[in-house]
Every structure is written in structure tokens, then in C-alpha cells.
Structure 1
Amino acid sequence: MSRGEPVPFKVAIPQEDLDDLYARLRNTRWPGDAGNAGWTYGVEKGWLQDLVRYWIEDYDWRAQEDLINSFPQYRVEIDGVPIHYIHVKGVGPNPKPLILTHGWPWTFWDWKDVIGPLTDPGAHGGDPADAFDVVVPSLPGAGFSVPLTTTGYGARRVAELWQKLMTEVLGYERYGAGGGDWGSIITGEIGHGFPDSLYGVWLTLPYVPGVNLRTLSEKDFAPDEAWMWARMQEAGPTIQSHRTVHQIEPQTIAYGLTDSPVGTAAWVLGRRRDWGDHGGDVFSLFDKDFLCTTASIYWFNGSIASSMRIYHEHFRGGRPPEPRHYRERAIDVPTGFAVFPKELLLLPRALAAKVTNLRRWEVQPRGGHFPPAEQPGLVTRELREFFRELS
């Protein structure tokens, strides 16, 4: 074991970095974009220029920084990896520890609207008995978990870091875990590898170690799940480009993205349009302040470069790591799935019941790939109801 002691942390971007950001935004060299009104060739220039104009003229990073700093944050080094995390203690008779993990191109800030209702349900119209101690870390190499100077941190090794964070650093004997996108993959690995430490795991992207969602066929889905297969076919083309680049040569694209905040914004925020459940108006789902904050977090510290490497590290040789065991149930702890209709990858319920200790399966009325940012009320309800009976 190798870890330091947690140190209180505040986000404080130096003014010279902000000045550099705005200078680069103003001096952007814009490419041509003929015939791209429907995003046929990728992010449409007018959409991005409108957002960048807001970023320069109306956005206030310092105000967003103050909002972030309204949550108690810490940094700790575990096995030589710096980890930034929010840690809010619950207000209730017996708060359950809960770690919530983001994905790419999420940040820890995607969870901001569920932290208050989960930690202090009594102040948000809920039952104090449902309170959680909430921990929201930044993935290694992402956000403020930098610099990442060690290679090899795919989802399984991140799961090992989170186990150490929760049990050794924070001293919880048992805890719950939830996540989306890479956060689901990491959460699945925690459930697979550390069942004795967990109350349960809750997933939005339905990742289970040893199950390859890309090998599923239409016949694997029940008749009332035909929409899942159709959604996966629809979403497939939108995930090919970044997954291929990140997996094969993330460093190559990192030079351009690290140099250009507009490049970073195009690369990470186009996914909000492609993967969110917004009916064609992305700004109706994610406000411009949130989108500019997301892009800023990825651009500051050059973290866009190291954030992308998780794809290469997890899929070394083109495939994820072999399961730790080959029992029929890859996840033995109680498992919950929140099934959002615009998710990218989906799992037949019958298969979920076979390979996990399935306790909750709820198809949601709306929501895409970023559930806590898109539908924080639904996410709060699901987490409360799933973990309520677990001990």
C-alpha cells in the first residue's frame, strides 16, 4: 500500500491561465464548414462559434469556480496517483457511503445536482433516513486528478484506487458505488473485484466484466426490448471516431486539443449534442455555463491529454482485461440498472439477471448518456430507492 493523507483542496486557476484561455479563444483560426448544417461532417461551425462567443463575452469562470468550491474537496496520492475528490457527509441517522464516478467526456461536475439531495434529503423533500456520505472523485488524469505520470490505469486499476480511497483513506468498511460511462465500467469492476466491501453497485451504462455488448445481436433482446437494439444501431456511428482515436493514438490528437480550447470544446461538447436526450436543442438540456465549465475543466492543466488514455489502457490489445473469475454471476453484490432511453449501449434484462445479482431494473422515461446532468431528479430517486433496502 502506498498512499498519502488527504489534503483540503480549492480550485484556483491562476489568472494568467485564464488570460491565456481567452486570448486563445479570441485568436482561434476557424476552418471552413461547407455543407455541414446537419452536422454531417461533425461539429457545425455556427453552433460552436455561438458557444465560443458566449464563453468569451458572458461566461464567468470565477463564478463557476466559487460554485465548485462550495463543496468540500480534497486531494490525496494513492500509489503515486494524485486523486481529487468531493466528499460531503450525509445529514441523517445513518448515512451510507456512496462513491459516484464520472466518465468521458463527463467531469466530476456532472454529479453536482445530485450531491445535495443525496447527502441532505430532508432539505430536498426527502427522508433523512435515505442520506448518503457522497464521494465524487475525478478520474486519474482528468480534471484536477493531475498530473498523471504513470501508465496502465484502465478501469480495473482505477477500481483498485477507488477501493483504497473508500476503505483505507476514508475508512469506510462497506460502501455503495454508482456511475455512468467509464464510471459504470469502473463501478462494475469494483463490484466484480471487491464484493465484500460493497452494499451494492448501480449502473447506467450496463457494463459487466466478461460481457461484450458489441457481440449482442437483435435476437438477444426480448420483443419489448426491440427499441434497445434500434437505439444501439442509431448510436453506434457516433461513438466510433473518438473511441478509435483514444484507443489507438490518444497522444497524437492531444497536441491539438491541449493547444486549442476551441478544439477541446469541439471534441468534448459535440458528444453532449450526439448523446443527450434533448430533442435537437442541446442548450435546453445543458446550459452554456455548464458546457463552458466542462470544456474549461478539460482544457486547464492540459488534462484533456491524460483523460483520453483510459481507452488505450483498458483496451490494450484491442480488448478489455479478462475477468477476475468466471462464475456465472460476474457481479455477486446487489446490482441495479437505470436504463435511459438514449443511452449508447444497452443490455437485455434476461442477460443482466444471469450475470449479476439483479435487484433493480428500471427503464426511465427520458434521459441520455449523461443522466446525473440531464435528469438529476430521476438519478436521485433511483439511487435512494435502490440502496434503501441494502445493508
Structure 2
Amino acid sequence: MTLEPFQIKIGQDRLDLLGERLRSAVWADEAAGGEGWGYGVPGGYLRDLVRYWRDEYDWQDHEAAMNRWPHVRGEIDGVTVHALYERGSGPAPLPLVLSHGWPWTFWDFAKVIEPLAHPERFGGDPDDAFDVVVPSLPGSVFSAPSPSGVGWRRTAGLWVNLMAELGYERFGAHGGDSGAFVTAQLAHEFADRLIGAHLTYPALLGADTASLRREDFAPDEVGYFDARRSPQANLTHFLTHTLEPQTLAWAMQDSPVGLAAWMVQRRQAWSDCDGEVERRFSRDELITSFALYWLTGTVGGSLRFYADSFRLPWTASHDRQPALEAPTGIAVFPRELTHVPRALAEQHANLVHWTRMPGGGHFAPAEEPGLLVDDLRAFFRPLRELDRAR
């Protein structure tokens, strides 16, 4: 392992190339009256977003904000891994690894890093502090390039070794989207290393969630089933990324406008924004996520993570039950892509914490950072005491 301090620095030549691509974009035709989102991202919105990216957005400002935090980068088990790493204050910070998904990046956790690491700065209890570790998924952004075969199963093992390299034999874990599957695999395969696993996406390994029916939900849960998103909201990107990631990568890495369209569609469809994506994400936040992938040349790696994760069915590492052995907490955000009955979660996980949130969607740390911080603190408080008593 070769973890070393790392500073983000995108070269001016790369930024100049991006500017050229944005200025010379070739726009597709559009059906008359197609300004709504029914056919995908409308041209009027996308043109204005790209204009802002080209003329007003300042990458250096956001690069400086990222570099406010310490980072490490190095090779672990043959895979390049980057992580933001902020040591917490307080008497005994609990080590916590936060795993993102797609089209997230590590920077989707920007609003929760300081409150988690330094609660006293926000009127909180220093005893709730965490040592916060936010890696980039293999193949994404600064964790690139990545060899084939590195999906969420193998990533769980990488995170164990990453945390050990940072000095932690036991730690907590949280994740959403693909990061929820990484966290669930940690709770399954490496339960002895985990203080607790906290999820915002119900990644119940081995559970049949595809055939859930309305009657499977308790009376006070059926609203989640009734409000579920159509399968097409999930399948468009999932099938393409899993079956043809490289084909799509050529187009999106070549065109930052195409990349912006593909990614902003997911932000608009999957967040709790009532169809207005900028109710949840500022333009700068949206563009920074696009820029991180395009400037680092890692669009392909981020898409291949799907293929390396989901082409083969999950297989258990052991036959002990429940599959998620480590103490597990699930935060239920109402506009998440998938919901499960609490009874199913209790069957497949060592469920000790279940919170139904008043708002928020698929991008919990960016949409509702305060709710997520509060829930992480509440989930880990009793687990800290149990871990000290080991």
C-alpha cells in the first residue's frame, strides 16, 4: 500500500480543452414543443446550463474548496484509491467511511463532512465526532484507472484495507446508491470489522425486492409503494451501463454537453425536486459533478463499475443469517428510487435503526445533509458504547 497526501490540481490545458468543447458544441434537433422533460432533457434548459458552465462557472473556486480538506491517494491491492480524509475533533472520534454512487462523486458528501467531523462547530456534542473518510469509487474521478472486475463486492475489501492503512481495524460505514451495496457487502462479508452499517438505499443482499407487492407493506408503509417510481426511471441507465458501458463512454467522454445531459437527467428524475432540479442542486453543484468526471477522463471507469458489479448475481460469502450481520440502520427518504417493507429489512439485516424522513430523494447527503447527519449521529451513539465494551 502506498497511500500518500494528495492535492487536486487540474491542468490548464485540460480546462482549455473543456472550454473549447463547450463553445463548439453541436446541438441535436428537438421536437416542436419539446421543452418539457417528457423526451429527456429539454434543449432550453440544457443550453442555458451549458452557457453558465462555459461563461460563469469557475472550476478553480471549487477545486480550492475541495483542497480545503486533506486527501490521500495510492494503490491498494492493485487498485488506485483516492479518499478525502478529515480527522474529527472530540475525545474519541469514530472512524466512518462514506461511499457514494453514480452520478455522484465523493464531493456529494461536501455538506456533511464538517458537521460529522466537528459537531461542536454546529452546536453539537463533541462525543458524536467521526474521523471522516470519503473515497472515490474505483474507476471514478481520482480513483482511476481501475482494472476490470472491480465492482462493489471487491470494493468492500478495498475499503477494509484502506481503513486499515489509515489505522482503523474497526470502523463504521455509510452508503447510498452503489455505495449502499458496498456498505451492505461490508456488513455481510466483513461484519467483524464493522461497528455499524448505515444505508439510504435498501441494499438487502439476497432479498427479492423486484417482486414486492402492495400487500407486502404495512398499512403505514403503503404510501411508499404507491409513490414508487416507474421501472423505466431506473432501467434506462442501469441496462446501458451494465450491458454497454464502453459504447456510452466514447460519446460522453468526447462531449461534456452529452455528459451533462445524461447526468442531469438522473439528478432531475431521482431527487425530491418536484421536477425542478435546481430546487435541490445549485448550478455550481451540478456542474462540479459533471466536471469531475470529464476533467479526470473517468466517465468510462464510472460506467464500467456497473458492469463489474451487476453482470453476475450476488453470491454469499457465508450462510449465516441475516445476510447483513453487522448492526444496520436504514434511513428511508420518501423519494428514494426503491422502498422495502421494514419486515423485509428485519429479515435480511441485523436491523437496529429505522428512520422515516420527511423529505429527500436519492442523493441524501446533497439534498438533506442535516437530516442525514442527525441520523448518522443517532445510529452510531449506542454502537460507540457497545464497541468500547468489546
Q: 2:335 maps to what in 1?
A: 342
Q: 1:104 maps to what in 2?
A: 102
Distance 2:208 2:135 in 1: 27
CA shift at 1:351, angstroms? 0.9
Helix, strand or coil: the match of 2:30?
A: coil
Letter in 1 for 2:38: T
Q: 1:282 maps to what in 2?
A: 277
Is 2:189–2:317's contact at 8 Å kept on the other side of the alignment? Answer: yes
- Structure 1 residue aligned with 2:16, among 16, 19, 29? 19
What's the CA shift string for 1:312-356, capped at 9, x where partnerless? 111224xx3212223331112111000000000111101111211
What's the CA shift string for 1:214-237, capped at 9, x where partnerless? 1222221112211222233x2422
Distance 1:217 1:171 in 2: 45
What's the CA shift string for 1:284-337, capped at 9, x where partnerless? 2100111110000111122111101121111224xx321222333111211100
Alignment partner of 1:303 is 2:301: no
CA shift at 1:239, angstroms? 1.2
Q: How many residues are aligned here?
A: 383
Alignment partner of 1:333 is 2:326: yes
Distance 1:231 1:196 in 2: 37
**Normalized against structure 1, the TM-score is what?**
0.96
Is 1:235–1:344's contact at 8 Å kept on the other side of the alignment? Answer: no
Alignment partner of 1:361 is 2:354: yes
What's the CA shift string for 1:90-126, capped at 9, x where partnerless? 1001100000000011000000110000000001110
Q: How does 1:211-360 map to 2 (within 5 A)?
A: 211-232=207-228, 234-317=229-312, 320-360=313-353
Helix, strand or coil: the match of 1:308?
A: helix
4+ residue runs over 6 A deviation: none
Distance 1:321 1:359 in 2: 24
- Structure 1 residue aligned with 2:3, among 6, 10, 16? 6
Alignment partner of 1:370 is 2:359: no
Is 2:152–2:309's contact at 8 Å kept on the other side of the alignment? Answer: yes
Is 1:81–1:140's contact at 8 Å kept on the other side of the alignment? Answer: yes
Distance 1:328 1:353 in 2: 11
Letter in 2 for 1:73: H
Distance 1:377 1:165 in 2: 27
**Normalized against structure 2, the TM-score is what?**
0.96
Distance 2:246 2:64 in 1: 32
Task: Indicate the larger mover: 26-35 or 215-224.
Answer: 215-224
CA shift at 1:84, angstroms? 0.6
Helix, strand or coil: the match of 1:158?
A: helix
Is 1:208–1:355's contact at 8 Å kept on the other side of the alignment? Answer: yes
Helix, strand or coil: the match of 2:60?
A: helix
CA shift at 1:5, angstroms? 2.2
Is 2:205–2:348's contact at 8 Å kept on the other side of the alignment? Answer: no
Is 1:231–1:344's contact at 8 Å kept on the other side of the alignment? Answer: no
Distance 1:100 1:128 in 2: 20
What's the CA shift string for 1:128-156, capped at 9, x where partnerless? 000000000000010111112x1111110
Helix, strand or coil: the match of 2:54?
A: helix
Q: 1:195 maps to what in 2?
A: 191
Q: 2:29 maps to what in 1?
A: 32
Distance 1:327 1:42 in 2: 44
Distance 1:245 1:132 in 2: 37
Distance 2:203 2:182 in 1: 9
Distance 2:223 2:74 in 1: 43
5+ long unaligned stretches in structure 2: none
